[in-house]
Structures are given as structure tokens and as C-alpha cells.
């Protein structure tokens, strides 16, 4: 590659939609390679809600290459593991954080999503333009550049536009018409509640009949993260108003014992309440012209995979690396996709029976699940169950790009 080509490549501009995890990570690598990133985010500021995410496998390797591992460990939740409990809070099965070599359902390094997002933002804000409270309303790819219309910032032109704004990416949907979101029949509500001494340092998972589960995960901020999940054939509950969603959860989980009354009471006052239909994103192609998608916007594997953060970080790293080292953007996007496709396919291939197997219908089914989980860390069961309980985060060898 000639010096002139390298010079022109290093001055390219990139508009990124989404300031969660993928967007700032992508901005970091693009800036490192001399490109100029701009991140646009619909929210007025970084979102302070969100549950615990895993840093594992290739995703953790990306964090190391960014020089952020020590900072991430400083704000890790230090969760001891997960206990599966009955309605009298008796432990029926335990999976410690070091199960399966620290690669199990609770990873060796867990961090709250907003803390990771803040970490990435602080690492990039001096070299990246952030436009909060704004969004892309139209895109026109005219060959040499993409003309973007922003709701507040008006019309601007960029060399590339990248959709990194989540599973229901509005930016992606402006361009790609063949995206399929595969629903898994699972609804989950996430929110933060006050910590109580009984919450301890272990995550607790309680299954109730009729495909319902409740989890409590103590964090490192003096609060506890709650999640209510249930299986349903309903199609429209995600579009309900927040107050109606909370009323729905009272109907679905009302009358249960354990910590449920406390959780429902605190839910009504939770400021970070988030309700979602759990699903996966399937796109036949991740790019078109000078516009591409990355992270959940392109290949969400769902929280059930345990791979969301690994896919976000490896996608950002690979996309930036290919753009930086190939003069032709079509070749760069093609290489990014061919490198990541097998990894995302493994992440999206959930264990058989998921999610129904994790949320049994009957008390007998719950008892059977707990029996299986009790054997999960013993030989020879651990070898068999690793297929179901260890996400394939280590199955990608990261390419090495020159900075």
C-alpha cells in the first residue's frame, strides 16, 4: 500500500450510531488507526441502567489490547457465583464463579453494563465527537461518501456509517430491509432495587412453575439487580407503556413467595426499569455500500447466549482493523464479515431446549433441573454439561492489526 493511500485512509470519517458498548469500542480502534469517529446517541446521556455483563474469551482479549483490563477489574462486581434456590430460599444447586475454569454462567470477570459503557466512553471522549440526544433520520449513500441527516445536527457527510445501536437498530432499518429478528418467546424485565443483607455476594435464581424465573444479582454499588423472566406466546406486550408492563408483571408474578413480593414492590419505583422481548438478529449480509452493522444490530445472540459483550467487542475490533488495513471498503467489510460469521453462528446456536429448559413448566421439571445443576461441576457430568453451560467465547483467535 502506498504512502498516499495510507494517508488518505487515515483521514477517513466514520459516523457510528449508538453509545452503548459496541459504539465507543469501535470509536477507540478507529481513532487509534487515525480515522475520525463521531458517535450519535438518541439518549441525552450515557444510559445508567443495565445488568451485569461478562468479559470473557476473545472479548476480554480485546479489553486487554485496549489497556483496560485493570480498570475493568477495579469495578468488577466480584460475584461469588450463582445459587438456585427454592421458595424458602434453600439452595438446591450452586455454580461458583470458578466453575468450568471461570468460563461458566457466571464469568470470572463480571461488570455492570453502565460501568463498562462509562469506561469505554472515558477512554474515547477526547478523540471522539459524541452527539447525545440526537439520531440519524435518513442516509443517502452516493458512492464517495454517505450523506446523513441527523435530527438535531442537520446534514453531514461521512466516509462510512456504522449501525451499532442494538437489536432494534433504527439506523440499520433505514438501509437493510431483509433483517430478521427471531423471537425466543421470552420476556424479561430488568431493574435495580435496594440491597438487603440477605442478598449477600451470590446471585440467586428462583424458578417458579409455568415457565417463570426470578433472579437477584448483588452489584458493587450497594444495590441489587433484579430480573423477572417468563415465557409467553404474546406478541404485543413489549409495546405496552411502562406502567402497563409493570401491571402485567404483577399479574404474572403476583402470589409467588420467596423474594417476589419485595421485588414487585421495589419494581414500581425503579427508575431504570427496562422490559424486552428476548430475540436474535439474523442478517444475510452485514454491509451495503459504505454502510455496515456491528454488534447486536447485526448479530444479536440474545442474553441467553452469554456472548453479547464478547460479540460487541470482537466485532468492533475486527471491523476497525479491516477498515484501517484495506484501501477498498468493500474488501474491508467482506473480511470483517468472513472473520466474524463463524463466531457469531456459534454464539447464536443456543443449547437444545433453550429457553424452555431453563424455565420449566412444572415443579417436577424444576426439581429435575436443580438435580442436573447439582452435578454440573462433578466428573464426568461437567464434561457433558460444559456444552450447555460454557459459552463459546474462546473459539475465536483475534487477528492482529498494526496500529
Cell of 52: 451485569
Phi (first) and psi of residue 364, to 5 degrees: -65, -40
The residue whose grid cell reads 471522549 is: 125
E strand or H helix at 216: strand 212-218
Cell of 147: 450523506
Q: How confident is the model over 37-66, as a mean pLDDT?
A: 95
Q: How far apart are CA 315 and CA 59, in angstroms?
A: 9
Kindly tell me if the per-residue pLDDT of 382 is higher than 90. Answer: no
| The pLDDT value given to residue 3 | 39
| The pLDDT value given to residue 88 | 96
3-state secondary structure of 23: helix
| The pLDDT value given to residue 89 | 97
For the stretch 151-209, pLDDT in tens is: 999 999 999 999 999 999 999 999 999 999 999 999 999 999 999 999 999 999 999 99
Facing residues of 230 across strands?
187, 212
Residue 49 half-sphere exposure toward CB, CA atoms < 13 A? 14
The mean pLDDT value of the chain amounts to 94
Q: How far apart are CA 7 and CA 4, in angstroms?
A: 5
End-to-end CA distance of the chain: 15
Q: How far apart are CA 50 and CA 303, in angstroms?
A: 12
3-state secondary structure of 65: helix
Per the model's pLDDT, the better-predicted residue between 49 and 110 turns out to be: 110
CB distance 87 to 32 below 8 Å = no
Q: How far apart are CA 156 and CA 184, in angstroms?
A: 38
For the stretch 42-55, pLDDT in tens is: 999 999 888 999 99
> Per-residue confidence at 383, pLDDT binned at 50, 70, 90?
confident
| The pLDDT value given to residue 377 | 83
Kindly tell me if the per-residue pLDDT of 384 is higher than 90. Answer: no
Q: How confident is the model over 88-110, as a mean pLDDT?
A: 92
| The pLDDT value given to residue 387 | 79
Q: How far apart are CA 21 and CA 294, in angstroms?
A: 11
CB distance 319 to 336 below 8 Å = yes
> Per-residue confidence at 289, pLDDT binned at 50, 70, 90?
very high
| The pLDDT value given to residue 10 | 59
Kindly tell me if the per-residue pLDDT of 378 is higher than 80. Answer: yes
For the stretch 196-242, pLDDT in tens is: 999 999 999 999 999 999 999 999 999 999 999 999 998 788 889 99
Amino acid at each position: 500500500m502506498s504512502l498516499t493511500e495510507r494517508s488518505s485512509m487515515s483521514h477517513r470519517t466514520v459516523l457510528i450510531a449508538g453509545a452503548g458498548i459496541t459504539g465507543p469500542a469501535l470509536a477507540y480502534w478507529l481513532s487509534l488507526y487515525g480515522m475520525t469517529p463521531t458517535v450519535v446517541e438518541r439518549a441525552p446521556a450515557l444510559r445508567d441502567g443495565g445488568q451485569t455483563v461478562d468479559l470473557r474469551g476473545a472479548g476480554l482479549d480485546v479489553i486487554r489490547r485496549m489497556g483496560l483490563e485493570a480498570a475493568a477489574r477495579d469495578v468488577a462486581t466480584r460475584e461469588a457465583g450463582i445459587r438456585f434456590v427454592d421458595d424458602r430460599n434453600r439452595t438446591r444447586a450452586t455454580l461458583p464463579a470458578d466453575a468450568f475454569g471461570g468460563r461458566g454462567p457466571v464469568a470470572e470477570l463480571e461488570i455492570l453494563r453502565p460501568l463498562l459503557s462509562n469506561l469505554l466512553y472515558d477512554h474515547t471522549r477526547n478523540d471522539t465527537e459524541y452527539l447525545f440526544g440526537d439520531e440519524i433520520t435518513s442516509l443517502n449513500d452516493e458512492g464517495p461518501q454517505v450523506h446523513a441527516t441527523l435530527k438535531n445536527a442537520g446534514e453531514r457527510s461521512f466516509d462510512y456509517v456504522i449501525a451499532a445501536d442494538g437489536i432494534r437498530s433504527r439506523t440499520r432499518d433505514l438501509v437493510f430491509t431483509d433483517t430478521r429478528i427471531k423471537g425466543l418467546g421470552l420476556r424479561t424485565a430488568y431493574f435495580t432495587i435496594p440491597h438487603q443483607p440477605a442478598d449477600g455476594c451470590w446471585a440467586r435464581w428462583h424458578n417458579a412453575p409455568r415457565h417463570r424465573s426470578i433472579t437477584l444479582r448483588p452489584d458493587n454499588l450497594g444495590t441489587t439487580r433484579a430480573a423477572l423472566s417468563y415465557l409467553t406466546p404474546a406478541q404485543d406486550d413489549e409495546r405496552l407503556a411502562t406502567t402497563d408492563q409493570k401491571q402485567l408483571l404483577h399479574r404474572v408474578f403476583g402470589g409467588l413467595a420467596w423474594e417476589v413480593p419485595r421485588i414487585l414492590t421495589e419494581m414500581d419505583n425503579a427508575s431504570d426499569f427496562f422490559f424486552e422481548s428476548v430475540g436474535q438478529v439474523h442478517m444475510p449480509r452485514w454491509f451495503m455500500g459504505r454502510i455496515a452493522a456491528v454488534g447486536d444490530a447485526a448479530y444479536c445472540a440474545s442474553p441467553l447466549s452469554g456472548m453479547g459483550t464478547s460479540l460487541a467487542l470482537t466485532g468492533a475490533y475486527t471491523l476497525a482493523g479491516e477498515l484501517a488495513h484495506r484501501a477498498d471498503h468493500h474488501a474491508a467489510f467482506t473480511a470483517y464479515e468472513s472473520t466474524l460469521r463463524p463466531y457469531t453462528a456459534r454464539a447464536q446456536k443456543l443449547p437444545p431446549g433453550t429457553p424452555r429448559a431453563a424455565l420449566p413448566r412444572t415443579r417436577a421439571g424444576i426439581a429435575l433441573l436443580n438435580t442436573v445443576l447439582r452435578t454440573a461441576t462433578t466428573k464426568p457430568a461437567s464434561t457433558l454439561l460444559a456444552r450447555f453451560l460454557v459459552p463459546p467465547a474462546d473459539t475465536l483467535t483475534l487477528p492482529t492489526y498494526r496500529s
